[in-house]
Structure 1
Amino acid sequence: MNTLYVLLALLAVAGWITSTVTLRMRALADKADLLERRLGLVLDHLGIEEPEPAGMDEVRALARDGRDVSAIKRYREITGAGLAEAKRAVDALDPARSA
């Protein structure tokens, strides 16, 4: 019976820790999003455009040839972006496809 109480207590503590960490990560992600939006506004106000990474011509050529998977893979190699971000970026290269 004692073992059962210990296990229940451990599960409760693990649940509390998990929820606390999840809430903290969500708060940090929200702050990062806010900072990114603010930085975008500052760059727009100053008229500064983010430079395009080297190698984007290769990504465009791959996408133009219909080799989307290769284009996404190359974009990820160049930028370090995640899969979803890379797919959105490659799709955005051809506005007709992203519609």
Structure 2
Amino acid sequence: MDTLGYTLAAVALLIGVGSIENRISRADQRVARVERKLDRILDHLGLREDEPWSAEVADLVRAGKKIEAIKVYREATGVGLKEAKDAVEELGQSRG
């Protein structure tokens, strides 16, 4: 295979990988959205069960370590930065 052939194969591979990453990202966003909706339904019904990581997030908020709390929340839930920030701020307001 000549240089052009290798180059075209590499470009095709990169496009394929980018497409797969994009689909995974969209799926992750959809799952996070469904999980948030389900959490709201559970809250409304009074069936909320705390996640194991939620105590750690709450402790970090109480200690004034908001950025660390956001990081733990994001790692545990897979949500984006804005969603995690909003959730941590809401937790801080409800506890403060």
Normalized against structure 2, the TM-score is what?
0.53
Among 52, 66, 73, the alignment partner of 1:81 is 73
- CA root-mean-square deviation: 3.6
Work out the CA distance in 1 between the residues paired with 2:60 and 2:14. Answer: 47
Higher relative contact order (CA 8 A, sep 6+): 2
Query: Which portions of structure 1, spanning 4 or more consecutive aligned residues, are displaced by more than 4 angstroms?
Result: none
Give the unaligned 5+ runs of structure 2.
76-80
Native 8 Å contact 1:43 1:49 kept in 2: yes
- Flag the 1:17–1:87 CA change in 2: closer, same or farther, 3 A: same
- Larger radius of gyration, structure 1 or 2? 1
* Deviation of 1:88 (Å): 6.2
* Deviation of 1:13 (Å): 1.9
Q: How many residues align?
A: 83
Normalized against structure 1, the TM-score is what?
0.52
